[in-house]
Amino acid sequence: MSLADKTAAELVALQAAGGASAAEVADAFLAAVRDREPKLRAFVSVDEAEVKRQAATVDAKRRAGQPLGRLAGVPVAVKDVLCTRGVRTTCSSKILDNFVPPYDAHVVERLKAEDAVILGKTNMDEFAMGSSTENSALQTTRNPWDTDRIPGGSSGGSAACVAGRQAPVSLGTDTGGSIRQPAALCGVVGVKPTYGRVSRYGLVAFASSLDQIGPFARDVTDAALLLEAVAGHDRRDSTSVDRPVPVYTRTVNDPVAGLRIGVPKEFFGEGLDPEVETAVRAALKEYEKRGATLVDVSLPHSPYALAAYYIVAPAEASSNLARFDGMHYGHRTKQKADLIGTYSKSRGEGFGKEVQRRIMIGTYVLSSGYKDAYYVKALKVRRLVKKDYDEAFERCDVVMGPTTPTAAFRIGEKSDDPLAMYLSDVYTVSCNLAGIPGMSIPCGFTAGGLPIGLQLLAPPFEEEKMFRIARMYESVTDWHTRRPGV
Amino acid sequence: MAETYKIVIGLEVHVQLLTKTKLFCGCRNKFGLPPNSATCPVCLGLPGSLPVMNREAFRLALKAALALNCRIASHPGHPPGFTKWDRKNYYYPDLPKNYQISQYDLPFSHDGWLEINVARDPKKEFTPKRIGIIRAHLEEDAGKNTHDESGRGGDTRVDLNRTGTPLLEIVSHPDLNTPEEAITYLEEVRLMLRELGVSDCEMQEGSLRCDANVNIHVPQPDGTHHETPLVEIKNLNSFRAVGRAIKYEAERQYEEFRKDTRGEYRFGKWLKETRGWDDTRGQTEGQRHKEEAADYRYFPDPDLVPVVVSQEQIAAVKAEMGELPQQQRSRLVGQYGLTAYDAGVLTAKGRRTVAYFEAVAAAVGDGKTAANRMSDLIFPALSDRREEIDAFPVPPAGFADFLKKTGPLSKQDRVHLLGHMLDHGADVDRAMEATGIKPQTFDEGTLRAKVAEAVAANPKAVADFKKGKDAAKMSIVGAVMKANRGVPNDVVRRLVDEELAKA
Ligand SMILES: [Zn+2]
């Protein structure tokens, strides 16, 4: 078994025991990247020399007997929406193709503080807007289980590189499902933490009130390990919450006694692929076998969640992305124009179609005369969605259902139909609107061999319990141990 | 006389707050630094950066709002003290994020008032007038564009040092009715904010900026009035410019109104117009790039959490506020028997001058004399010496001593003596020794004879006096004082009065 087949927890233990050096680990993953990158195109940048330098530093610290962080020598891939000091951060957009941030995102600082090795930056839908990673202006990432298919999005690169064993773990961001959906489609674990659990400092904002950073991993323990490393309060993000971070890995193997699982009928309606439904229902059976009780719950406003999401998120995006105007940094048009012309040409050339579409939607829903009918009403729906969850969690510990309505679709299949594309987030957006934590874990495969994800949703700041519940299932199944053919 | 029209003025004042750092980042808040040296990822709006509210800025703003008698975030449907940040979206190169963090529908303060003294004859009459404050809210300042004005089409340069500076916007009701009132209001705002340490209010440096909304009401025979369209005047660079611009604009609007035969030039029929004041030409001009009705697409800033101001916070800020100018004026009148005018002059000079005055008044036991002598002697000396009161070499006790010992002297002699004290660092006794100027012993009978002589020698002055010319009397007093150095001025005046009565 290659070093690149090991999990992060295994790599930490192995290095601590002297079984491998950080340099050897880094070399193994760099080899895996070189081997599979021509097929997967998960990374937008990998600086091999820099990766080796970081690994050598960890080895030197270890040799000198210095204390090491909890991710010592573990390569971590980072979505290219997270700022890395001195390393180009593109958001997979032409408008930022020459942007080199002078600072690290908080989570990148945290990774470095824990002696992780930043392996590279991963591909994504431009500015995290999309569900297939096809909206990247740079390249098309492929699903390791079937390279004719999309890996999901927007964190498609971060999902694909973990599934394709190019990286043991990675970080993504989730605004409406951008971690959980690609995790489901690539057969890995993906976690969207509670809003405020992880600092957004250095995350290039898409929709600030919805964005959260979270881990991808091949198993629940690794996801817990990565989250405990990056979570916590940061004074630079006013919305980050000052609350202690539990050591998730310490309790992850403790089952939850008397577990009550809420099953919302709204997650099993029209549009759900029968193969996905079968796999999810089988997973619920498995929980029952382990002593859990299934409780019927209702999330009556969830049919409106998608609509509210596609108002709130573009509204915030239209303002967040206003700064990309070619004036102070980023792409500026070469055409001669006056001020307004320079703005519109720079932005017209720099942004892709989907980003432009969402900026237009967002501008429209905030415009005077329309704001009350759209933006203000969407905020009301958002409050109701949150209330639905509050009420559901009075009757259960966790809500479960499918992460996505279908398994991975073919590249190009939905490119011309934005509405069909938006529907692939139908089960994931309400979690962001409510600000609660959620995750996706592998729960089976379609007949065609494509992974299926089970979604777990928990009350705010109950990631610790959510990990334990996820692990209860994972510990009696082997879906997460299967590897794609790529 | 019925007035031809009434001017209606509302002012929007922006003041920069005296914080060490900017509103949402740790950059220095200081005027005059090299361009773009006080910047960081947050105020440059770099992707991934996030704002964090400066609590000191909020505290200063709260202080100003309470001094303006504002209610603090009292919004129906929201908890008491609840206020939030909103984004005002518009594109301009001096605004790196292309939105300004401001406050929209739930400003942290609103519904206040400021009392100003409106005077027809400022020497005598004072009528307090309350100017309503619609709202005062906090926002971040934009940067500064420097356009090439050589006409050679050079690049516009942008300095982002100012970007993110805390700015308090104070919007008045249209309660001001003359250019003088507008200036008085601005002076009162400036004095109060300086005294509170909220802002240095330097218009030259842009730490106080003002836009004026002006229109006129023209009375009609039936008792109603016509209102002209509202004009916002920008580019006002001094208080004097504010006064001139309002006067010009009122006259211009009246002309427009008179020329308009079809009843089109009316409030409500025109969009609000923005005009710029040209100080050199002395006129307002329509802005060349007429802004379209702007839609700022305000929405709550999701990067910042709402603020809830507690009663304790309000009480704490109130406790450290101290005496406000208008309170101080009434106290000076009540406690020292000063005229409203004199109290106003002292208050306008600031708290430290008032403290000096109060020390002198206590030592000499006469506030009126202390105030008059400070006006006669200290204020001119300070302006000659370009000095602040703290640096004045004669402390209050020394000045009180000076007043006690120079009571009988003429003003001229006192000026001379004080001048010597200042030039030589001497006390009043040494100054008298050196200059020889000191109160003379005198015999009232002898002095009365001299006065009688002077009256007899000036028949023309006597005749003028009888005709009611008061100045004629002073010429006789002057002549006696000149011929008899060191005799007490007040005694001479009394004797002149008595002798003239006999003449
Ligand atoms: Zn700054």
The predicted-structure confidence for A101-126, as pLDDT tens digits, reads as follows: 999 999 999 999 999 999 999 999 99
Q: Do A209 and B89 touch (CB under 8 A)?
A: no
How far, in Å, from the CA of B23 to the mean position of ligand 1?
9
Give the residue numbers spanning the domain of A120: 3-254+443-452
**Contact assessment for residue B73 and residue B106, using Cβ atoms and an 8 Å cutoff:** yes
A397–chain B Cβ distance below 8 A for any pair: no
Structure tokens at A186: 């690539």
**Residue A37 belongs to a domain:** yes
A82–chain B Cβ distance below 8 A for any pair: yes
**Cα A296 to chain centroid, rounded:** 28
**Residues of A whose CB is below 8 A from B295:** 367-368
The closest CB to that of A204, out of B47, B53, B87, belongs to B47
What is the mean pLDDT of the segment spanning B250-273? 90
**Nearest alpha carbon to residue B239 among B500, B466, B11, B497:** B11
B286–chain A Cβ distance below 8 A for any pair: no
**Residues of B whose CB is below 8 A from A375:** 299
The closest CB to that of A323, out of B50, B97, B297, belongs to B97
Look up tokens 């006669």; give the residue: B376
- Beta bridge mates, A454: A402, A441
Helices then strands, each counted (H, E), chain B: 16, 17
How far, in Å, from the CA of B37 to the mean position of ligand 1?
10
SS (H, E, C) A293-350: EEEEECCCCHHHHHHHHHHHHHHHHHHHHHHCCCCCCCCCCCCCCCHHHHHHHHHHHH
Residue A361 to residue A311: CA distance in whole angstroms:
7
**Cα A480 to chain centroid, rounded:** 17
Residue A6 to residue A24: CA distance in whole angstroms:
13
Tens-digit pLDDT profile for residues B32-76? 899 999 999 999 999 999 999 999 999 999 999 999 999 999 999
A316–chain B Cβ distance below 8 A for any pair: yes
Using alpha carbons only, give the angle A235, A238, A242 rounded to the nearest 5 degrees.
Answer: 60
Residue to substitute from A96, A127, A327, interface B, most B β-carbons within 10 A: A327
Which residues have beta carbons under 5 A from ligand 1 (an ion)?
B 25, 27, 40, 42-43
Structure tokens at A103: 């600072």
Q: Do A205 and B96 touch (CB under 8 A)?
A: no
For residue B154, the 8-state DSSP code is: P
Instruction: Give the number of domains in chain A.
Output: 1
Residue B69 to residue B63: CA distance in whole angstroms:
10
Residue B331 backbone dihedrals phi, psi, to 5 degrees: -65, -45
Checking B348-354 for CB contacts under 8 A at 24+ apart, the result is B348/B187, B348/B191, B349/B379, B349/B389, B350/B191, B350/B194, B350/B195, B350/B389, B351/B195, B351/B322, B351/B323, B352/B388, B352/B389, B352/B390, B353/B389, B354/B328
Q: Do A319 and B297 touch (CB under 8 A)?
A: yes
Residue B254 to residue A213: CA distance in whole angstroms:
62
Q: What is the pLDDT of residue B1?
A: 42
Q: What is the pLDDT of residue A91?
A: 98
Q: Which CATH number fits domain B444-502: 1.10.443, 1.10.10, 1.10.405, 3.40.50?
A: 1.10.10
What b/e readout covers A237-270, taking b as 16+ CB neighbours within 10 angstroms? bbbbbeeebbebbeebeeebeebebbbbebbeee
**What does DSSP say about strands B99-102 and B157-159: parallel, antiparallel, or unpaired?**
unpaired
B271–chain A Cβ distance below 8 A for any pair: no
User: From A200, which residue of chain B is nearest by alpha-carbon distance?
Assistant: B48
Tens-digit pLDDT profile for residues B67-96? 999 999 999 999 999 999 999 999 999 999
Q: Do A367 and B96 touch (CB under 8 A)?
A: no
**Contact assessment for residue A223 and residue A471, using Cβ atoms and an 8 Å cutoff:** no
Cα–Cα distances (Å) from B133 to A319, B12, B235, in that order, read 31, 10, 22
Using alpha carbons only, give the angle B485, B487, B492 rounded to the nearest 5 degrees.
Answer: 120
How far, in Å, from the CA of B497 to the mean position of ligand 1?
71
CB atoms within 10 A of CB A371: 18
B87–chain A Cβ distance below 8 A for any pair: yes
Instruction: pLDDT tens for chain A, 486 residues: list them.
Output: 799 999 999 999 999 999 999 999 999 999 999 999 999 999 999 999 999 999 999 999 999 999 999 999 999 999 999 999 999 999 999 999 889 999 999 999 999 999 999 999 999 999 999 999 999 999 999 999 999 999 999 999 999 999 999 999 999 999 999 999 999 999 999 999 999 999 999 999 999 999 999 999 999 999 999 999 999 999 999 999 999 999 999 999 999 999 999 999 999 988 999 999 999 999 999 999 999 999 999 999 999 999 999 999 999 999 999 999 988 888 889 998 888 899 999 999 999 999 999 999 999 999 999 999 999 999 999 999 999 999 999 999 999 999 999 999 999 999 888 888 888 899 999 999 999 999 999 999 999 999 999 999 999 999 999 999 999 999 999 999 999 988
Q: What is the pLDDT of residue A113?
A: 98
**Contact assessment for residue B333 and residue B327, using Cβ atoms and an 8 Å cutoff:** no
Q: Do A102 and B41 touch (CB under 8 A)?
A: yes
A residues 116-155 closer than 8 Å to B (CB): none
Using alpha carbons only, give the angle A190, A320, A96 rounded to the nearest 5 degrees.
Answer: 80
Q: Do B299 and A366 touch (CB under 8 A)?
A: yes
Structure tokens at B362: 């206590």
Q: Do A363 and B304 touch (CB under 8 A)?
A: no
The closest CB to that of B97, out of A322, A343, A371, belongs to A322
What is the mean pLDDT of the segment spanning B382-392? 92
Q: Which H/E stretch holds residue B460?
A: helix B459-466
CB-based contacts of B210: which residues, under 8 Å, 6+ apart?
A: B11, B12, B13, B14, B186, B203, B236, B242
CB-based contacts of B224: which residues, under 8 Å, 6+ apart?
A: none
**What does DSSP say about strands B299-300 and B283-286: parallel, antiparallel, or unpaired?**
unpaired
Residue B214 to residue B134: CA distance in whole angstroms:
16
**Nearest alpha carbon to residue A270 among A388, A402, A441:** A402
pLDDT class of B123 with cuts at 50, 70, 90: low
Residue to substitute from B92, B94, B303, interface A, most A β-carbons within 10 A: B303
Residue A354 backbone dihedrals phi, psi, to 5 degrees: -65, -40
Look up tokens 């004072």; give the residue: B126
Cis, peptide link before residue A154, omega less than 30° from 0: yes
ipTM of the complex: 0.95
B88–chain A Cβ distance below 8 A for any pair: no
Task: Kindly tell me the burial class for residue A334, based on how many C-beta atoms sit within 10 Å of its own C-beta (0-12, 13-18, 19 or more).
Answer: exposed
Å between A162 CA and nearest CA of chain B: 25
Q: Do A239 and B302 touch (CB under 8 A)?
A: yes
Residue A427 to residue A447: CA distance in whole angstroms:
22
**Cα A229 to chain centroid, rounded:** 16
CB-based contacts of B413: which residues, under 8 Å, 6+ apart?
A: B406, B437, B485, B486
Q: Which H/E stretch holds residue B402?
A: helix B396-406
The closest CB to that of B50, out of A238, A323, A371, belongs to A238
Q: Do A101 and B48 touch (CB under 8 A)?
A: yes
> What CATH number does residue A104 fall under?
3.90.1300.10
What b/e readout covers B178-198, taking b as 16+ CB neighbours within 10 angstroms? bbbbbbbbbebbbbbbbbbeb
A366–chain B Cβ distance below 8 A for any pair: yes
User: From B97, which residue of chain A is nearest by alpha-carbon distance?
Assistant: A323
Q: Do A319 and B99 touch (CB under 8 A)?
A: yes
Cα dihedral sign for B208, B212, B213, B217? Answer: positive
CB atoms within 10 A of CB B377: 22
B304–chain A Cβ distance below 8 A for any pair: yes
**Contact assessment for residue A178 and residue A172, using Cβ atoms and an 8 Å cutoff:** yes
Å between B51 CA and nearest CA of chain A: 7
**Nearest alpha carbon to residue B334 among B379, B116, B326:** B326
B96–chain A Cβ distance below 8 A for any pair: yes
**Residues of B whose CB is below 8 A from A236:** 50, 52
Between chain A and chain B, how many beta carbons pairs sit less than 8 Å apart?
A: 96
How far, in Å, from the CA of A54 to the mean position of ligand 1?
30
**Residue A478 belongs to a domain:** no
Structure tokens at A423: 């529907």
Structure tokens at B390: 């703290």
Positions of A marked active-site: 79, 154, 178
Q: Do A238 and B44 touch (CB under 8 A)?
A: no
Delimiting residues of CATH 1.10.10 domain(s) in chain B: 444-502
Residue A230 to residue A232: CA distance in whole angstroms:
7
SS3 B214: strand
